[in-house]
Amino acid sequence: MAATENTNEEVKKSNFIKEIINKDNEENIYGGAVATRFPPEPNGYLHIGHAKSICLNFGLAKEYNGTCNLRFDDTNPSKEEDEYVESIQEDVKWLGFDWGDRKFFASDYFEKLYDIAVDMIKKGKAYVCDLTADEIREYRGTLKAPGKNSPYRDRTVEENLDLFERMKAGEFKDGERTLRLKIDMTSGYIVMRDPVIYRIQHTEHHRTGNKWCIYPMYDFTHCLSDSFEKITHSICTLEFENNRPLYDWVVNESGVGHKPKQIEFARLNLTYTVMSKRKLLELVKNSYVDGWDDPRMPTICGLRRRGYTPESIRDFADRIGIAKSDNMVDIAMLEHCIREDLNRRAQRIMAVLDPVKVIVTNYPEGQVEYVDAVNNPEDESMGKRQMPFTRELWIEKSDFMEEPMKKFHRLSPGMEVRFKHAYYITCTDVVKGPDGEITEIHCTYDPATRGGWSDDGRKVKGTIHWVSVAEAVEARVNVYEHLFTRENPDDLKPGEDYKDLLNPDSLSVIEKCYIEPFVRDAKPGERFQFDRNGYFCVDKYSDHSWITFNRIVSLKDSWKKVAEKGN
């Protein structure tokens, strides 16, 4: 399915979760309460897919005057770290959401979960199993064939209690025994075939240290945590659809009372990038990118460093809506959202990225004059600034052609063009270096055209941007392209690895370009539109000795047409 095709469809479907909530409210299932949660596992940095889930969960809570918890799903000590806990909180806050005092950790419930497990054993609903992981898989059966009972399934309650206690006390090695629910080895739902709910793992936990060497599994922990926190609507991604019977079973059989409703939606996939935490971690660990916040990464901190605004990401999440089937969203749509936001808000600036020198031969040497430049034509209240004009100027190489092709209306010998906000300027001559490359373009200006307008009705076809040589700020610019060359880098041919599809041109560094002096004191994170060149953001590691800009996005909007057609 083409990435661009289904998006308007998605928008129409976007309300199915609200329909469920509205119905629950009408039927008074939860007394009108709406309590959601965002439950990340702290085993990596958040990405744009998580942003969708954050906007959805916090957005619903806000809309229904409810609550949204931040819950760290930290039941796998070997992959979880405090660094991730910190970064997740930073990212959720940056996106504009606030969990107030509702921050929880699944690990806070370890004691409670253990008690429930013991209780399940007492009720004859759980047993200690000695099968190895491979054997458990073998006994489980397949979609077509039923499983068979574990030989340990009929242990007595006393024996189970004793063994589980000893598992907790550290008597056994990793993997030697598990605690399993006694449900039904012939169930059509494979997850119901006596799922493992506790495993032995002698690994220090980032919060509970060495207190525990048995850890509860996701399917046991998640639903009970939801219940403890009185979550009403537990929204998760589609891959958990098959786990729903188990979710409900555990909540019902454990007797915890409050019963949340699990609702699944499609995860976000974006073209030209990957979203799996395992792959993102690999890109970071093996230095394919420059850290989690590399501006090419789909991580929230990467997008932030690139220059994306929280508003643009929330807008994106709104526009894609909530779907019930998997789909791929065109990254051009995300880019469209940041353009729309910055078009309204970003200060315009002139910057020359690929410079060639112009000498205005009839302009006095050493003179500096200031011309007015509009800061944002979309918003008059942003006012004007003063730009220095001098005898020597930088322009883009691409704005000059010695032998202009048809329809080239920019600078060429004998041609008059507008230097934006300044003057009409005519090219008179070209100076070349020994190997034939152009070193200087000689021009004259018409003093009667100050501001870039002529009173005598004379028209010019081209308008170009420029920067004063004497007054320019020198800067480095990082130009980013897609991280991968294939629209769907998860769609691999035999023998391919997704890393083979990394785009070798995803970053090009322009070491020296020239920018008008307005940006001299720009701070990390400040965003600008460079006239005709795109939107740029001062890099978070930039310093004033040599300012670095990241290109957020070019000006060319391939999504706009699609968006307009859809409206």
Q: Would residue 420 show up in a list of annotated catalytic residues for this protein?
A: no
Among 277, 336, 348, 385, interactor with ligand ATP by CB under 6 A? 277
Closest residue to ligand ATP, judged by C-beta, is 49
Radius of gyration of the chain (CA): 31
Catalytic residue among 71, 155, 277, 339: 277
Q: Give the list of residues 6+ apart from residue 61 with CB closer than 8 angstroms, or none.
A: 34, 35, 36, 67, 68
Span from 49-57, 335-343, 462-470, 526-534 in contact with ligand ATP (CB under 6 A): 49-57
The site string for ligand ATP over 230-269 (x = CB under 6 A, - otherwise) reads ------xx-----------------------------xx-
Nearer Cβ to ligand ATP, position 318 or 526? Answer: 318
Q: For the CB of residue 236, give the shortest distance to ligand ATP in the complex, in Å.
A: 5
**Nearest distance in Å: CB 41, ligand ATP:** 4
DSSP letter string over 6-74?
Answer: SHHHHHHHTTHHHHHHHHHHHTTTTTT--EEEE---SSS--BHHHHHHHHHHHHHHHHTT-EEEEEE--
Q: How far apart are CA 545 and CA 547, in angstroms?
A: 6
CB of 262 to ligand ATP, least distance (A): 11
How is residue 75 written in tokens? 């039941």
Q: Give the three-class secondary structure for 259.
A: coil
Does the annotation count 277 as an active-site position? Answer: yes
Instruction: For residue 77, state whether it binds ligand ATP (rule: CB under 6 A).
Output: no
Q: Which residues contact 80 (CB under 8 A, 6 or more apart)?
A: 41, 42, 43, 74, 205, 206
The smaller minimum CB distance to ligand ATP, of residues 70 and 538, is found at 70
Buried b / exposed e over 106-144, threshold 16 CB at 10 Å, is: bbbbbeebbebbbebbeeebbbbbebeeeebeebbbeee
Which span (36-44, 284-292, 317-325, 365-373) binds ligand ATP, by CB under 6 A? 36-44
Other Cβ atoms less than 10 A from the Cβ of 56: the count is: 21
Helix axis angle for 310-320 and 48-63, nearest 10°, is 80
* 490 touches ligand ATP (CB under 6 A): no
The 3-state DSSP class for residue 191 equals helix
Sole binder of ligand ATP in the list 113, 179, 183, 275 (CB under 6 A): 275
- 153 near ligand ATP (CB under 6 A): no
In the residue annotation, 173 being an active-site residue is answered as no
Q: Is 284 in the site for ligand ATP (CB under 6 A)?
A: no
Residue carrying structure tokens 């897609």:
482
- Position among 6, 14, 41, 382 found at the interface with ligand ATP (CB under 6 A): 41
Contact range with ligand ATP by CB under 6 A, out of 46-54, 139-147, 193-201, 454-462: 46-54
CB of 162 to ligand ATP, least distance (A): 34
Q: Which of 30, 40, 254, 527 binds ligand ATP (CB under 6 A)?
A: 40
Please report, for residues 213, 316, 403, 535, the alpha-carbon distance to residue 555 in angstroms, rounded to integers and kept in the order given.
Answer: 55, 18, 27, 7
Q: Is 417 helix (H, G, I), strand (E, B) or coil?
A: strand
Pick 37 or 155: Cβ nearer ligand ATP: 37
Instruction: List residues near ligand ATP by CB under 6 A.
Output: 39-41, 43, 49-50, 52-53, 236-237, 267-268, 275, 277
Residues that are catalytic: 41, 267, 277
